[in-house]
Chain A
Amino acid sequence: MNKNAPKLGLILLMAPLLIWLFALIILPHVDMFFLSLKEKIAPRVYETGFANYGEFFIEPLYWNTFARTAFMSILTTIVTLIIAFPVSYYIAKMLQGRMKAVLFVLCLLPFWVSELVRTFGWMILLRETGIISNILQWAGLVDQPVEMLYTDATIIVGLVYTSMLFMVVPLVTTLESLDNSYVEAGYDLGGNGFTVMREIVIPHAMPGIVSGCIVVFMLSLGNYLTPILLGGKDSLWFTEQIYAQFITRFNWEQGSAFGFLLLILSSLIVWGGLKLSRQTLSNTMG
């Protein structure tokens, strides 16, 4: 057997991943980076500089939009965690065998429908002439149609719904690895439901909580469809700004700079979150 054979095997196995990373992630980003450094000083005249990045900090609309997007994404992450944790605990610890699989599949089921269709589902429910509005009128609780779309709360509802699975999966996985005897020992030594949860279950589930939060936060921050459809024209989502620069304004240089800013700032927020929860990326993903 050739000594280099395992190495060759590794290279061949890694090749699709490396090609994918290089061609679809690194190459466009390098190109975007150079694009973002081009300052337009006159039609078809460019200079190299950071003016496109400066624009983000000078124009309050841009960084306000980013701050708002980041804040609402963090809120979405927290709400998703609060809803997903009991669900995951129930699936992982309370159920056995068949019911466990059934509930898990039920969590997965909405993802067989495209995000667009799911979001339209919410619109059918929430719009002025929608189902909920009609039910409320029929029940006599309101005397005129209610518009429930195009508010911040609607955006968060939509994002939480879209993100749920990405929180449930890592949580169920880490909670399942928690041996029941730890929970029993927690009670046996005098703990109650609250202290066992705080001292034993949550510290054990921390890697799952953090990885779920990172995924949900990144997905919400980078989401385009849900905020636009449920939030309407005033949703002021940062991805919308990037879209506008690229497509509406045809200002690719500015759009690229915004794209990079989104990447850098969201990475900083994730890094801050990891520091705050005293987790490292490697033990979260491992």
Chain B
Amino acid sequence: MDGKMTDREDGGMGGRAAETVKGAPAVRADGAPTDPADAAGTAGTADLLKVENLKMYFDTPDGLVKAVDGVSFTLNLGETLGVVGESGSGKSVTAMSIMGLVPMPPGKIHGGNVLFKGQSLITISEKDFQKIRGNNIAMIFQDPLSSLNPVYRVGKQVGEGLTIHKGYKKKQAFARAIELLDLVGIPNAAERARDYPHQFSGGMRQRAMIAMALACDPEILIADEPTTALDVTIQAQILELMQSLQKRTGSAIIMITHDLGVVADMADRILVMYAGRPVEYGTTDEIFYQPLHPYTWGLMRSIPKRTAGDKEPLTPIKGNPPSLINLPAGCAFSPRCPYAQPRCHEEGPVLVKLAGAHASACHFSDDPAFLENSPLHDDEDADTVAPGAVAGMAAPEGADTRRGHSDG
């Protein structure tokens, strides 16, 4: 716990606050280097949230959809978990399952557990869940326009949780809502709180959503693609805001996104998902600098590199993500995996811890020769390679990657 927090401190905020771009005075959302997060973090018990082998299936006319199939992770105060994957990988359903927002039926929990401070959220009664939802665990949705009620004033919606969970009177809640809107950087908060959602711009709506989620000081904030619908300059504002608020309140964040840049920025740990299953789990540095799973490699290779001067072809992952109704036998990634062996098509790998908490669901992740295929993704600035990364892992060209690893 302590180790994680220190990681976060020197890496996360301190380094970035150190300098600004020459010639352009930077306007920063996070100003003072305050450290209440540490105090809050160490005070909390271990395992604020523990998800164990969660399976959420949907019964559809076409067959059983295994939307989430065996996801496990733990989350502590002050930590940020990034959940990465392509569309249909089960990221959002995982979040909705934790929040108890999946309609059942058609959804059905086929096993596993979600423990919030040791209490199961799977077996809990809806009445008790309502005391936690929005109060201890809050969620920011991707599309703020469809998540806000168009016929209520923004201030009323932001303060609603306070009247429900904290016993605020309507006027008190509205006054607090104004403070919260001010906190998330909405100008003229007192006036804007009386506006309706359609009068807000996209970025402001997302800020209002964050204010609403923060109203009851939740311990866990689940953000489902919070910046996907926003422009980059507004995205930067929102990410900065979430980081500074996390520092202030010490809450834990689950950040669901398909953007590896966003998790590189925000996350302490990363869970990579594919076809409803976790394929790799580790610290941000482990995932980016010592990735173990071929799917993670494929994702890294697919990103257009910002330093690439000449047009060199990208190395995409061949094929398309599988249908969740009819998953391939064995490893779900095997039909697209350039290194797949006969074993991969028959036997499904399980997520195995390899180094510390770094886990990978691949039969060959413990094979050093196999890991030679890793893109290592920073061939151009090898000096920044994480200490401990295997030296000499040159990024193979597209042709090489198809050859497999029969030598290993």
- Same assembly: no
